[in-house]
Amino acid sequence: MKQKYLTFLCFYLIFNIAIFSQIVNEGTLQIEPSTTVYFGDEYTNKSAATHNNDGDLYLNNNFINNGITTSVSGTTSFKSSVNAIQTISGTANTANFYNLEVDNTLMGVSITDSFGLFVENAVSLTAGDLRLVGEAQLIQVNNIPNSGSGKLLRDQQGVSTTTAYNFWSSPVNNSGTFSLNGGLFDGTDAIINSFTPQQVLFNSGSPYNGVPATVVGGNVTTPLTISTQWLYTNPAASGWNSINQSTGLAPGEGYIMKGTGAANQNFVFKGTPNNGNYSFTIASAQSLLIGNPYPSALDSWQFITDNLGVFDQIEFWVDGGSPSHYTADYLGGYAIRNLTTGVAPSVISSIDGLGGASGTIPERHIAVGQSFIVEATGAGTSIVFNNAQRTFITEGSGASVFYKNSSSKITKEVNSFIRIGYEDPEGFHRQLALGFLPNSPADMKYNRGYDAIMSGPREDELFYIIENDLTKKYVIQGVGAFEDAVEFPLGLIIEEEGVHTIMLDAVENFDKNVYLKDVVLDTIYNLSTANFIPNLPTGEYLDRFKLVFKPKEEMLVVDDVVLEKTINVYYNKNNSIIINKPSELKLNNVLIFNMLGQQLVKVTANLLSESQISIPFQFKKGMYLVLIESEEGKKTYKIVN
């Protein structure tokens, strides 16, 4: 039977080589164990075909996979001394091998952008390099040390400014650790010099800025320069530690670095691909900067679940447009992710792509090269990365993001989310997330891993209060299935006078109205239709506001229409309130209240026949209620001065 199979295989290959100068599989190609096969020309596994390699397959040219690939033993070797660059590509966007060997004595193997290369066992870069182009990823299963003198090369892009930090971790190592000198390369010309990037340069003097590469004809002539002034790690017991370009970092250890000033600067990591288990020691209440150690995406849900006894949330730094190197000028904040969802950082909402409903919300999967902060909240002492946490998710899919002022969003239909926004007088936008998770163990009590504490609260803040614990400010609350009668207490702290705004940023898989309940005024505000601007003195309001979904009949609903006539009421920014009304409508009274229910103004004169009424109004900025009383009824209007 084996002899018959091999005869068929040889005839098949010769036939295709003679006619097409390529090898095409249109059915099922099975290479048995202990069988050695050589393909000299480009090999295509077509869309309806299955490629099963359990033996040793030597490919001298390109592999195009449009179908299914499987392997439970053997080695797929890309071996050539003729074709400088062999490629792995195809519409299937993935390929599965048991052992993978690169033995190209000229240059190496290039994996096309957004392609997932799955290897069950070991990767041996015997000769030549393995190039992951763009969003291509290498996903391994077994904890087999990768070997060989060849290197893996993988791109990642950082922030463009010289004053903003990116939080990094390397997907590769060189002799066990990673250092920028020898591991980080200039990817400015990666499109045309994919295998031969140049080592980045370093400076240490004033003005302490990085410098973009010099490019001539598309080729880098002088590589980009990194300022070593801004290189730091954050070991658990030591705070922020300054490092240099030669400092050796363990796989999974994070570091921070500022940019070069080039738009969307591309860097290339070059070294042995990280694979297997990595662990870090941390004591209770300590913070640690760690990151995705792999050349593939990391599933944050699995990572948090595996380490839930040690920490329960992840914090990602997002720069908010920091204009200088002075610490006092830094603009940015920490986005947070836990088992419920993620929330954007508190940054100035006018900055494009940040803050507000379109903020940089951390999704479930952590991109290649991304580091983050964890804080130990449990008794555990060891944080573990493992291959089971690896997954193939690209940034372009919208399910993974590297923090360089970009955003992404993906939603599971079974869960529903509400995102509440709060904006302080300085324009900083804080986002709170409420998740309804019917298949989770979360409830209205504190749930480890599902409720997240705010990172770096500002003086003015809005937050969830859980189990009446007023010592903690929660930014994410996860509960079970949605019930419209349940109310969620909110805390509001006002330190600065000015306009404070509470709004509905977004909803996901949720079709109910969202209301803000004022317990003191016995009033609700429909956030689904309008923002709420409280007119309150400075202070702490910890038992006044709640997020609700079912208005009660006995409550006063703002904007409840009684008067049917068309009336326009607005503040004209000239210390007066303007009322435009039909001339035939006769008004009895106009009363103006603050949000505490205190009457500030009452007008009874000159209200009979004028079509426009101007009322002097000189009060501090905020939201006010204008009550118009006429013979035909009453109507309340909200204004903001």
Distances (CA, A) of 584 to 253, 565, 634: 75, 10, 16
Does residue 596 contact residue 522 with C-beta atoms inside 8 Å? no
Give the largest Cα separation in the chain, rounded.
109
- Look up residue 15 and give its DSSP letter: H
Q: CA 524, 525, 527 angle in degrees (round to 5)?
A: 140
Cα–Cα distance between 264 and 271 in angstroms, integer? Answer: 23
DSSP annotation string for 314-365:
EEEEEE----SS-GGG--EEEEEE-SS-EE---EETTSTTSSSTTS----SE
Tokens encoding 632: 């035909």
Instruction: Write down the CATH number for the domain with range 568-640.
Output: 2.60.40.3080
End-to-end CA distance of the chain: 88
pLDDT block averages, 10 residues each, the chain of length 641: 37 42 91 95 96 97 97 96 96 97 97 97 97 97 94 91 93 97 97 97 95 95 96 85 97 96 92 97 92 97 96 92 82 92 85 46 94 87 95 74 43 80 92 96 96 94 97 97 95 93 95 93 90 90 95 49 70 85 84 77 76 86 83 80 76
Instruction: Scan for tokens 């923002």, then name that residue.
Output: 531
Does residue 162 contact residue 260 with C-beta atoms inside 8 Å? yes
pLDDT at 380: 62
Among candidates 249, 246, 222, 218, which has minimal Cα distance to 235?
249
Neighbours of 641 (CB within 10 A): 20
Does residue 354 contact residue 405 with C-beta atoms inside 8 Å? yes
Among candidates 142, 171, 167, which has minimal Cα distance to 230?
167
Positive or negative, the CA dihedral 377, 380, 381, 387 is negative
Neighbours of 589 (CB within 10 A): 13
Q: What residue ranges in 40-151 does DSSP mark as E strands?
A: 43-45, 50-53, 56-59, 63-65, 68-70, 75-80, 85-89, 94-97, 99-111, 116-119, 123-132, 137-140
Q: Count Cβ atoms within 10 A of the Cβ of residue 631 and give its class: 0-12 exposed, 13-18 middle, 19 or more buried.
A: exposed
Neighbours of 188 (CB within 10 A): 24
In SS3 terms, 19-66 reads as: HHCCEEECCEEEECCCCEEEECCCEEECCCCEEEECCEEEECCCEEEC
Tokens encoding 596: 């505490």
pLDDT at 320: 78
Domain boundaries, given as residue ranges, for the chain: 2-150, 422-557, 568-640
User: In the beta sheet, which residues pair with residue 434?
Assistant: 418, 477
Q: Across the beta sheet with 297-299, what order do the strands follow? A: 390-391, 297-299, 365-366, 400-401
Q: What residue ranges in 275-327 does DSSP mark as E strands?
A: 278-281, 287-291, 297-299, 314-319
pLDDT at 12: 43
pLDDT at 358: 40
pLDDT at 403: 54
The strand pair at 474-479 and 452-453 is best described as antiparallel
Tokens encoding 459: 């003086």
Q: What residue ranges in 457-564 does DSSP mark as E strands?
A: 461-464, 474-479, 488-494, 501-508, 515-518, 523-526, 539-548, 556-557
pLDDT at 596: 65
Peptide bond into 293 cis (omega under 30): no
Its pTM surpasses 0.85: no
- Look up residue 177 and give its DSSP letter: B
Does residue 234 contact residue 287 with C-beta atoms inside 8 Å? yes
Amino acid letter, residue 492: L
pLDDT at 353: 43
Does residue 236 contact residue 280 with C-beta atoms inside 8 Å? yes
